[in-house]
Chains A and B, each alone.
Chain A
Amino acid sequence: MSITELVSNHVDTASVAATIEKSLRAASTDTHNAVIADLSERAHQRVETVGKQLEQGDTLRLAGVPVVVKDNYLTFGAETTAASNMLKGFNSPYQSTVVERLEAEGAIMVAKANLDAFAHGSSTENSDFGPTTNPVDETRVPGGSSGGSAAAVSAGIAPVALGSDTGGSIRLPASFCGVVGYKPSYGLVSRSGVVAMASSTDVMGPLTNSVADSALILDVIAGRDKLDSTTIERASDDYTQLTSDKKLKIGVVKEYFGNGVDVAVESVITTRLDALEQAGHELVEVSIPSTELALACYYIVVPAEISSNLARYDGLRFGHHAQDAASLDDFYKRSRSEGFGDEAKRRIMIGNYVLSSGYYDAYYKKAQQARTKLTQEFAAALGDVDVLAGPVAPTPAFKFGANTQDPLQMYLADVLTVGSSLAGLPAVSVPAGVTADEQLPVGLQLIGAHNHDLELLQAAAIAEGVQS
């Protein structure tokens, strides 16, 4: 059932309550560790509020729609932990803008989703609440960092889950779990009230069962927010206008094939692209030559920003507080060392290394230059075509433990998603089919021009509808 159909069934408190109870039950019996906190008390209050609004004749675009929220979004009704020991026990006095905009249209938050702690990871194995399993195959990871969100949608806990994407964290789990994951243009959705990872690439977006559902959620959350000065004006006043009879010109990014991409993944993507061609859309090969530099650039820029953003965890204002410290400096060090896990420590140290005196020009400045080059190459490629296409990830969902011993190997899962993040471009993972041998879902990645989200969503809807 689409969100629109679900909303049309909600006419009063009783009908909203029935949907929300069902979703809360699914959350409380979740066997995938997709959700790590319950919002049932607040959800019950919200059922009353939304029900009354409906009974008064209010029109709410998301009336009674259950939403699972990645636990790095500040929300009322439960702790916000970012799945980290550092923030266990943190009760936010305010909510994120995205949650408030969804609530204003009648959506009801039902649970908080698991993630890699602080959204650092590609498998959700790095959660201080234990890993999430992939509903498609429980021996495999759901991807990350929004793994709980993708699993929650895939397992039917809610039709919408919120995720955040810094270098692929919405798209990768969407690909691994066989759902739609939409990363909006940088700046189109407010970051206010979301635990910061890398401020220049963090983007908030939805994971859903269909492109139309993602478009509806984007339409509700997109646009300027006075609480986030990096938000941009929306380019469309209606992101749900997806029907288009236009024939697409699709730029197939040649660097996104070969080079360590699984043949099974390539085969699913090629089959879907061929189907698009047979339906009358044009495929052209395009090149983003700096793709080979994108991951290196990302793992300089992003840890640098992480080291800065995570400096706020001093143990004093919020977060884990060390006991019986000998001095203020000792208090800082112990609070941080006890509260942060290895991946956060690793990224903070990489960040401080590349920013430190004597290394800044060699690493950080080079990365900023590579970012310019990459952004220019994307703009040039998108000048000739409607969207860019390729796989989301080089592999389908991998087994637990496959990459945990080697951080660099884990980072390589993001090799095809970080480029568009660095360039601030909107990108989406659309389910494209399953691998022939293991029947694992594979996502087709489509990338659009900055602030051309409507055009990208239209292309995604076309790609979703074409039968391979």
Chain B
Amino acid sequence: MNDITTDDIRYIAGLSKLELSDDEIAKFRDELAEIVGYVERLQDADLDGVATTAQVSGLVDRTRPDEAIDPSKADNSLQRTTRQELLANAADTTSEGYIKVDKVL
């Protein structure tokens, strides 16, 4: 078993923007310790010098023309979507079509 502490869980929860109760911290500590303990078997694998793989599509640097899309002429519902429709799911919006957030400064 590795040495994940409750302080580690507090730190990771902060990075994850999650608020946890003390009970949750204790529970997640035990669970993460077990899971991380399991994945630690990779430490013993002989992988020196092996290249890394991030994706397996076989594709490299696919680009597209940088062109504006006219929603009224799009052949799919995503590109037909209007700003107003997208904002309908937002928490709070302004009349100018922006998302409103609490002051940060």
Contact = CB atoms under 8 A, between A and B. Distances in A.
Interface of A: 76, 90-91, 93-95, 97, 100, 186-187, 192-193, 200, 226-227, 229-230, 232, 290, 292-293, 295-297, 299-300, 307, 311, 314-319, 321, 325, 327-329, 331-334, 336-337, 340, 345-346, 348-350, 352-354, 356, 362-363, 365-373, 375, 406-408, 411, 422-424, 450-451
Given A316-B99, A349-B28, A366-B45, A336 B17 contact: yes
Closest 6 A/B residue pairs (Cβ): A424-B56, A93-B85, A368-B52, A318-B89, A321-B91, A94-B77
Given A327-B102, A336-B18, 16 more contacts: A93-B82, A232-B59, A296-B42, A299-B35, A315-B91, A316-B90, A317-B91, A318-B90, A332-B17, A345-B16, A348-B18, A350-B32, A352-B12, A353-B4, A363-B42, A375-B56
Given A300-B42, A366-B43, A424-B57, A407 B31 contact: yes
A321 B54 CA distance: 33
A371 B19 CA distance: 33
Contact of B81 (A94, A230, A450): A94
**B-side interface mostly:** loop
6 contacts: A76-B77, A297-B39, A317-B99, A325-B102, A372-B53, A407-B35
Contact of A369 (B15, B38, B50, B59): B50
Interface string B30-62: 011011101111110101001111111111001
Nearest to A201: B56
A348 B20 CA distance: 13
Contacts of B59: 187, 229-230, 232
Interface in B4-34: 4, 8-9, 12-13, 15-20, 28, 31-32, 34
A137 B103 CA distance: 54
A299 B41 CA distance: 12
Contacts of B88: 91, 93
B54 A93 contact: no
B33 to A, nearest CB: 10
Contact of B38 (A331, A408, A424, A451): A408
B12 A186 contact: no
Contacts of B1: none
Nearest to A373: B50
Contacts of A333: 17-19
A200 B38 CA distance: 22
Interface of B: 4, 8-9, 12-13, 15-20, 28, 31-32, 34-36, 38-43, 45, 47, 50-59, 62, 64, 76-82, 85-86, 88-92, 99, 101-104
A368 B19 contact: no
A316 B47 contact: no
A352 B53 contact: no
Contacts of B41: 292-293, 296
Nearest to A351: B16
Query: Among B9, B17, B51, which residue has the most Cβ atoms of chain A within 10 A?
Result: B17
Contact of B32 (A100, A340, A349, A424): A349
A65 to B, nearest CB: 20
Given A93-B81, A296-B39, A317-B90, A349 B18 contact: yes
B74 to A, nearest CB: 10
Contacts of A373: 45, 47, 50
A331 B90 CA distance: 13
Nearest to B31: A407
Given A93-B86, A193-B78, A346 B102 contact: no
